[in-house]
């Protein structure tokens, strides 16, 4: 059995990336994710890897693009305003079908906002902040253990589907220290015959998204991408249903806000109120079917977010009788409160 160790969320994520075989990291400092580059700069040279502090987030995501095009497992991390700067690169990465892992340890926005944890980038993450018809996988860890476990999963999913996988955490999750068991390598191996390694004994490879003749090729590419996205939607939805089987009141949340909801559910259950929690593990693809099952008996569905209402749109699109869906959120780095969640649930019963 592996020992439990104490680590910060950001550092657990960094170590998990190394366990996953990531040997290239490019990034630019921004709070509250600075432990990730600091950790990678310490660890990567010791395992034969490359850490490079880029001149900007734009440069960092394009270094990721280049390293991925060369066939490497590669990661970058940032926080909300920095992730905004990476959107152009993410669109190119989608168009060129390059695998990579991008970490967003969200902080309050819009603009420079503040440095406290937030969930204000749900739209940006799930709708695509860059241009064009594309999607990216979005994983939403809620514990330090999951920061590590989902990082391993992220690298495998990225390689399997040749897609950017976004790990969507928040400043609280990045900074919190918790015990975890470091995951073991999954051992999955992915061939990359498309990688740019020099045209020795083969035809030249090209990594590009440009398709200049619209009727014959760009739509063709988009349809190919769309098939891939459909496959991911069918196969890769992940979620956790906690005490939902008989739940009359269902909380829906992800990440840090789901931990607050879990506490509220436990306390409500102690008072005999049938509350349950549906927690996203993938925000895209959105686990709509699982949510339908979890919400089958719910009189009310309370969506709880550290934003003023973004995930709620997916919740409403997914459940039957969406008029059941209500919202409670705090924004600008503030946290939803257990007591307020309980108060609202109890009010539904009156």
Partner 1 sequence: METKNFKYVYDRPEALVDKVTHYCPGCGHGIVHKLLAEVIDELGVREKAIIIAPVGCSVLIYDYMNFDGCEASHGRAPAVATGLKRVNPDNVVISYQGDGDLLAIGTAEAVHVANRGENITTIFINNAIYGMTGGQMAPTTMEKQITATTPYGRDPMDVGFPIRGCELLNTLEAPVFIERCSIYDFKNTLKTKKAIKKGIKNQIEGRGYSFIEVLSTCPTNWGMKPQEAANWVKDTMVPYYPLGNFRDN
Residue indicated by tokens 């436990």:
266
What distances in angstroms separate CA 220 from CA 207, 228, 335, one per listed residue? 16, 13, 45
Q: Are 277 and 239 in contact (CB under 8 A)?
A: no
Q: How far is CA 51 from the centre of its chain?
A: 22
Residue indicated by tokens 């997914």:
318
Q: Is the CB of 30 or the CB of 150 nearer to partner 1?
A: 30
Binding string, 78-107, against partner 1, x = CB under 8 A? ----------xx--x---x-----------
226 touching partner 1, by CB under 8 A? no
- Tokens found for residue 338: 């257990």
25 touching partner 1, by CB under 8 A? no
Rule CB under 8 A: choose which of 17, 20, 67, 301 binds partner 1.
Answer: 67
Contact set for partner 1, span 33-52 (CB under 8 A): 50, 52
Q: Is the CB of 14 or the CB of 89 nearer to partner 1?
A: 89
Rule CB under 8 A: choose which of 29, 31, 41, 70 binds partner 1.
Answer: 70
Closest approach, Cβ 46 to partner 1, in A, equals 17
Closest approach, Cβ 73 to partner 1, in A, equals 10
Q: Which long-range contacts (CB under 8 A, 24 or more apart) does 293-298 make?
A: 293/241, 293/244, 294/239, 294/241, 294/244, 294/247, 294/250, 295/244, 295/247, 295/250, 295/252, 295/319, 295/320, 295/324, 297/245, 297/246, 297/247, 297/248, 298/247, 298/248, 298/249, 298/250, 298/324
How many residues interact with partner 1 (rule CB under 8 A)? 40
Closest approach, Cβ 155 to partner 1, in A, equals 15
Binding string, 166-205, against partner 1, x = CB under 8 A? ------------------------------xxxxxx--xx
Q: Is the CB of 207 or the CB of 280 nearer to partner 1?
A: 207
Closest approach, Cβ 167 to partner 1, in A, equals 20
Helix (H, G, I), strand (E, B) or coil at 252: strand
Closest approach, Cβ 95 to partner 1, in A, equals 8
**Phi, psi of 213, deg, nearest 5:** -100, 105
Strands 282-284 and 275-280, bridge-based pairing: unpaired
| The residue count for the chain | 350
207 touching partner 1, by CB under 8 A? yes
**Phi, psi of 243, deg, nearest 5:** 55, 40
Rule CB under 8 A: choose which of 36, 69, 260, 311 binds partner 1.
Answer: 69
| Residue ranges binding partner 1 (CB under 8 A) | 24, 26, 50, 52, 54-56, 58-60, 62-72, 74, 88-89, 92, 96, 196-201, 204-210, 212
């Amino acid at each position: 059995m592996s020992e439990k160790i104490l680590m910060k969320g950001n550092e657990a994520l960094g170590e998990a990336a190394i366990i996953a075989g990531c040997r290239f990291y490019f990034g630019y400092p921004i709070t509250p994710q600075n432990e990730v580059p600091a950790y990678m700069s310490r660890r990567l040279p010791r395992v034969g890897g490359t850490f490079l502090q880029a001149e900007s987030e734009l440069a960092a995501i394009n270094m990721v693009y280049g390293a991925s095009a060369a066939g490497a497992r590669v990661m970058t991390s940032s926080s909300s305003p920095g992730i905004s700067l990476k959107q152009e690169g993410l669109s190119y990465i989608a168009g060129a079908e390059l695998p990579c892992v991008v970490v967003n340890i969200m902080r309050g926005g819009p603009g420079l906002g503040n440095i406290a944890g937030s969930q204000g980038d749900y739209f940006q993450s799930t709708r695509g902040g860059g241009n064009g018809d594309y999607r990216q996988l979005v994983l939403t860890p809620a514990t330090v253990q999951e920061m590590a476990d989902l990082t391993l999963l992220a690298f495998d999913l990225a390689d399997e589907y040749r897609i950017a996988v976004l790990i969507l955490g928040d400043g609280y999750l990045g900074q919190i220290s918790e015990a975890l068991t470091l995951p073991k390598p999954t051992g999955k191996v992915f061939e990359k015959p498309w990688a740019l390694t020099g045209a020795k004994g083969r035809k030249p490879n090209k990594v590009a998204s440009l398709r200049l003749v619209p009727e014959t090729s760009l739509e063709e590419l988009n349809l190919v991408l769309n098939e891939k996205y459909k496959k991911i939607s069918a196969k890769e939805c992940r979620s956790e249903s906690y005490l939902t089987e008989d739940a009359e009141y269902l909380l829906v949340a992800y990440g840090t806000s789901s931990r607050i909801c879990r506490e509220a559910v436990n306390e409500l259950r102690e008072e005999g109120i049938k509350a349950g929690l549906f927690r996203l593990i993938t925000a895209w693809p959105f686990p709509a079917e699982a949510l339908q099952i979890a919400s089958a008996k719910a009189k009310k569905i309370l969506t709880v977010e550290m934003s003023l209402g973004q995930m709620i749109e997916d919740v409403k699109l997914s459940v039957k009788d969406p008029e059941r869906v209500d919202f409670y959120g705090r924004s600008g780095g503030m946290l939803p409160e257990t007591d307020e969640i309980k108060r609202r649930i109890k009010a539904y019963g009156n």
